[in-house]
């Protein structure tokens, strides 16, 4: 049993915003594996029971879209993980937006810091552990716009052209993580991202699969509202 969580904010006003990239990636998995499913309300989230199939392997998974707003995402993740007696290091993957990655890049890591992301910070606090996998989806960084306004804003048309295929790659990576493990997922997708020029140059993900995230040095947002 695996737990795959996409982070975002509930409500129509937040649809297709940069901060909801995690929601959108999980939506790709739902479209592939449970297109007719009706979400259940469990663990303070919209929950979907699916069987992920990839390369001849399959794994049961629970897909979650927390309805707690971003800053309280940890409540949902921790409740689900404890209910199913999951080990965060082996069984939990969080899909999340990242302003420190170029728009449309993805990067999967086996552990690390929060990178200033309030959703990840709450998950770490509620789990009491930072040793869970996270898949970051690059949304680019604001120029002169306040970061809070930027992440709660919608993608520009040019950005969306880059993000749309990145969401498909993120779903692909989540399938590999669930069925073949985090090391295989990292070796497969991080290397491909470096070839594309999307991930940070010179980072050897295959040999640093449990090193802290490079993004941890990014300034914390300091947002006080739930949405951010």
Average pLDDT over residues 199-227: 37
pLDDT attached to residue 66: 97
Question: Hey, which residues are catalytic here?
Answer: 19
Average pLDDT over residues 103-131: 93
- Mean per-residue pLDDT of the chain: 87
pLDDT attached to residue 221: 38
Per-residue confidence at 226, pLDDT binned at 50, 70, 90? Answer: low
> Does 10 have pLDDT greater than 90?
yes
Percent of the chain at pLDDT > 70 equals: 86
Average pLDDT over residues 159-173: 97
pLDDT tens digits, 43-95: 999 999 999 988 888 999 999 999 999 999 999 999 999 999 999 999 999 99
3-state secondary structure the chain: CEEEEECCCCCHHHCCEHHHHHHHHHHHHHHHHCCCCCCEEECCEEEEEEEEEECCEEEEEEEEEECCCHHHHHHHHHHHHHHCCCCHHHHEEEEEEECCCCCCCEEEECCCCCCCCHHHHHHHHHHCCCCCEEEEEECCCCCCCCHHHHHCCECCHHHHHHHHHHHHHHHHHHHHHHHHCHHHHHHHHHHHHHHHCCCCCCCCCCCCCCCCCHHHHCCCCCCCCCCC
Domain 2-217 has CATH 3.40.50.300: no
Domain ranges in the chain are: 2-217
Per-residue confidence at 228, pLDDT binned at 50, 70, 90? Answer: low
pLDDT attached to residue 175: 97
pLDDT attached to residue 212: 31
Per-residue confidence at 107, pLDDT binned at 50, 70, 90? Answer: very high
Question: The whole model's pTM is what?
Answer: 0.85
> Does 183 have pLDDT greater than 80?
yes
Per-residue confidence at 143, pLDDT binned at 50, 70, 90? Answer: confident
pLDDT attached to residue 192: 76
pLDDT tens digits, 120-140: 999 999 999 899 999 999 999
> Does 157 have pLDDT greater than 80?
yes
pLDDT attached to residue 209: 37
Question: Which has the higher per-residue pLDDT, 171 or 144?
Answer: 171
């Amino acid at each position: 049993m695996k737990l795959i969580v996409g982070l975002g904010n509930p409500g129509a006003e937040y649809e297709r915003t940069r901060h909801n990239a995690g929601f959108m990636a999980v939506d790709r998995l739902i479209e592939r594996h449970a297109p007719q499913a009706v979400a259940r309300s469990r663990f303070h989230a919209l929950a979907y029971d699916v069987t992920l199939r990839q390369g001849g392997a399959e794994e049961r998974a629970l897909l979650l879209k927390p309805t707690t707003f971003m800053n309280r995402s940890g409540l949902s993740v921790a409740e689900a993980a404890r209910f199913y007696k999951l080990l965060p290091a082996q069984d939990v993957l969080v899909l999340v937006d990242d302003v420190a990655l170029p728009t449309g890049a993805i990067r999967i890591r086996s552990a690390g810091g929060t990178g200033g992301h309030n959703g990840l910070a709450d998950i770490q606090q509620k789990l009491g552990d930072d040793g869970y996998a996270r898949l970051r989806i690059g949304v680019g960084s604001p120029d002169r716009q306040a970061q809070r306004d930027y992440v709660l804003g919608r993608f520009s048309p040019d950005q969306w052209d880059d993000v749309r295929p990145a969401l498909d790659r993120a779903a692909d990576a989540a399938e590999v993580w669930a069925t073949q493990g985090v090391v295989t997922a990292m070796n497969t997708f991080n290397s491909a991202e470096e070839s594309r020029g999307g991930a940070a140059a010179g980072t050897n993900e295959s040999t640093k699969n449990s090193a802290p995230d490079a993004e941890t040095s990014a300034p914390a947002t300091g947002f006080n509202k739930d949405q951010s």
